[in-house]
């Protein structure tokens, strides 16, 4: 018996072509279905699936909380076949009011903190949709959005939510895809809605007109946003850089001054900020900081920095703005998916994408409602007619063999439609009362009125726009969101004068011929009982004397060169310590010897120094 021939389809391709093809597919998936938000509802797929799964499960704001683990299970099992931690992390972020001004999820239990503490495990926390999420999901069951099969083709999921407010701008988003990244900060809900209303009425308005409403970003952590030019550039092109500075106040007390920080920049981890300021204090990078502590509690954020009474607090703040996250830069990069492709969007573009989506949703909803009301009106017309000839209808039904025969006889005898005949044969006897006829006529009148309104929405663009405006105004009235971030037009330049941050104190400074130097407090010097200062055996003291921390040390070497060093920059030590070499502060040869040194308060250009 002849063996069967087995044919192998061998694809011969270079590794380069195979990698290019596979990476292109992967990139497309990451861009369209993972990391970037849709311009219409401002959500990534995982966020949309979480919200829809909670809505489908009846886990809404007016119902009891469900365990977070239940929601995560529903999302993974039905819509999002990825790791549970990625789904739970997305859930937690949507519930954190320091990340989102208007959280979309109401979570009960430990959902993390501004100190970057992790949330409790999903088996411990409970969640439900926040009230504002109702406006994202409203009318989803009225054929308003496109649906697609889920990963297993068992269910259908929405490709976008109806979204009654511009969520992309309101809650902002960050994401990194392949070749694209998005970084959109949160904006004020009421401002963005006012701008949307204005844009509907004035579709060709300028950016300046829109910026009368949207002043700039509005971070949930507050702070001061500086740089109107950066905001304008971001709103015009989708890219721009702004500075976000903490809100602070200086409180003088009897013995010290306190710098109190009430608000910090967006996405800055408070505990890391406090730790960094404390490191500056411990390393004595600037003089004058006595203590830093976090006094935040459930009433609000409060970080206190104690400084010496005679120190210029403005200089200390300038140093902290420059060297810590007390001030950070934020880069706008407004990229979202429009028609399945990533697009860099201006403020006007993002509003237009939302308005176009809402027009589409309201038209589809109106069409759905019109068809439903039209069907009902048809049945009500039949019931009203039936009541007037009810005796004949009852006689006819009693003579019929069964329900199907009764319907057939009604259609043939009285010219009722299939739907009307079905309604008549299933009608209960109590509906034959006089009251019910009045109710049917009232319902008929209301249906005609409603159908007329829906027809106007479907045929007249001005009526459609009026509905959009009314719905936006309703959200504005129901959810009042005060602005948290202050906008400053100009960027304040940071000027650091180190001398202004130095307390004027008397210290003892010894300097040796080999160039070893240290700054000793008068208390440490007086406690030394005039013992010789610490130095190497081969070295000798050239000079020592008391001077102010604001003085400058001027020294000359045996090479005929000179150098100078502010006293406050000299490392502090004890009288018996060796000290540090001048080479640590100034570039000089290790063999150079110091031959003379002076302490000066100021440099006089007319003074000449002669040594022999």
Would you name the residues annotated as active-site residues?
A: 124
Whose tokens are 């297993």? That residue is 152
Do 327 and 266 form a contact (C-beta atoms < 8 A)?
no
| Other residues' Cβ atoms within 10 Å of the Cβ of residue 483 | 16
Bridge partners (DSSP) listed for residue 243: 226, 329
Cα(290)–Cα(280) distance, rounded to whole angstroms? 11
Nearest by Cα to 231 from 219, 244, 242 = 242
The Cα–Cα gap between 70 and 299 comes to 32
Instruction: Give the contacts of 451 (CB within 8 A, at least 6 positions apart).
Output: 370, 373, 374, 377
- Give the whole-angstrom CA distance, residue 601 versus residue 556: 17
* Residue/partner pairs of 430-435 with CB below 8 Å, 24 or more apart: 431/383, 432/387, 432/390
> Residue 589: which of 564, 611, 557, 566 has the closest Cα?
557
How many Å apart are CA 544 and CA 563, to the nearest integer?
17
Residues across the chain? 612
Phi, psi of 449 (to 5 degrees): -65, -45
- Please say whether the beta carbons of 361 and 220 come within 8 A: no
The rounded distance, in Å, linking the Cα atoms of 277 and 291 is 9
Q: Considering only CA atoms, which of 147, 85, 194 is closest in space to residue 472?
A: 194
Per DSSP, what are the bridge partners of residue 175? 182
């Amino acid at each position: 018996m002849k063996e069967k021939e087995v044919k192998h389809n061998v694809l011969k391709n270079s590794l380069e072509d195979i990698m290019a093809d596979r990476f292109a597919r992967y990139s497309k998936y990451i861009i369209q279905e993972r990391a970037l938000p849709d311009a219409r509802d401002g959500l990534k797929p995982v966020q949309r699936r979480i919200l829809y799964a909670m809505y489908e499960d009846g886990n809404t704001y007016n119902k009891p909380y469900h365990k977070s683990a239940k929601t995560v299970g529903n999302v993974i099992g039905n819509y999002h076949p990825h790791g549970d931690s990625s789904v739970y992390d997305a859930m937690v972020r949507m519930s954190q009011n320091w990340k989102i001004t208007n959280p979309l999820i109401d979570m009960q239990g430990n959902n993390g903190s501004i100190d970057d503490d992790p949330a409790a495990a999903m088996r411990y926390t409970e969640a439900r949709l926040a009230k504002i999420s109702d406006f994202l999901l409203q009318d989803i069951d009225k054929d308003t959005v496109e649906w697609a099969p889920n990963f297993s083709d068992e269910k259908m999921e929405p490709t976008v939510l109806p979204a009654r407010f511009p969520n992309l701008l309101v809650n902002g988003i960050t994401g990194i895809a392949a070749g694209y990244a998005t970084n959109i900060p949160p904006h004020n809900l009421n401002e963005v809605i006012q701008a949307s209303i204005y844009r509907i009425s004035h579709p060709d308005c300028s950016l300046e007109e829109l910026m009368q409403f949207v002043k700039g970003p509005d971070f949930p952590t507050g702070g001061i946003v500086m740089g109107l030019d950066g905001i304008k550039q971001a709103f015009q092109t989708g890219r721009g850089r702004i500075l976000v500075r903490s809100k602070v106040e200086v409180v003088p007390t009897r013995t010290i001054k306190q710098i109190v920080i009430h608000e910090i920049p967006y996405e800055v981890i408070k505990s890391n900020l406090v730790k960094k300021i404390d490191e500056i204090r411990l390393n004595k990078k600037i003089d004058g900081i006595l203590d830093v502590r976090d006094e935040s509690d459930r009433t609000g954020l409060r970080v206190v920095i104690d400084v010496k009474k005679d120190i210029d607090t403005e200089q200390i703040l300038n140093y902290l703005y420059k060297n810590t996250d007390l001030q950070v830069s934020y880069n706008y990069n407004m990229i979202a998916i429009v028609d399945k492709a990533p697009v860099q969007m201006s403020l006007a573009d993002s509003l237009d994408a939302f308005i176009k989506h809402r027009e589409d949703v309201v038209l589809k909803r109106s069409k759905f409602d019109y068809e439903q009301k039209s069907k009902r009106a048809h049945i009500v017309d039949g019931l009203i007619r039936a009541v007037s000839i009810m005796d004949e209808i009852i006689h006819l039904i009693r003579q019929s063999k069964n329900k199907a025969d009764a319907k057939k006889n009604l259609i043939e005898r009285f010219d009722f439609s299939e739907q009307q005949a079905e309604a008549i044969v299933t009608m209960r006897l109590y509906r034959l009362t006089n009251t019910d006829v009045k109710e049917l006529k009232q319902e008929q009148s209301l249906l005609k009125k409603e159908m007329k309104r829906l027809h106007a929405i479907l045929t007249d663009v001005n009526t459609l726009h009026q509905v959009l405006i009314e719905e936006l105004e309703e959200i504005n009235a129901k959810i009042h969101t005060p602005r948290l971030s202050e906008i400053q037009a100009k960027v304040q330049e940071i000027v650091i004068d180190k001398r202004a941050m130095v307390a004027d104190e008397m210290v003892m400074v010894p300097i040796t011929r080999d160039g070893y130097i240290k700054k000793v407090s008068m208390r440490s010097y007086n406690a030394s009982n005039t013992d010789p200062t610490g130095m190497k055996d081969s070295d000798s003291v050239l000079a020592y004397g008391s001077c102010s921390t604001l003085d400058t040390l001027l020294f000359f070497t045996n090479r005929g060169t000179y150098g100078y060093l502010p006293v406050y920059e000299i490392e502090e030590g004890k009288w018996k310590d060796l000290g540090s070499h001048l080479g640590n502060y100034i570039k000089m040869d290790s063999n150079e010897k110091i031959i003379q040194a002076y302490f000066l308060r100021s440099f006089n250009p007319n003074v000449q120094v002669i040594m022999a």
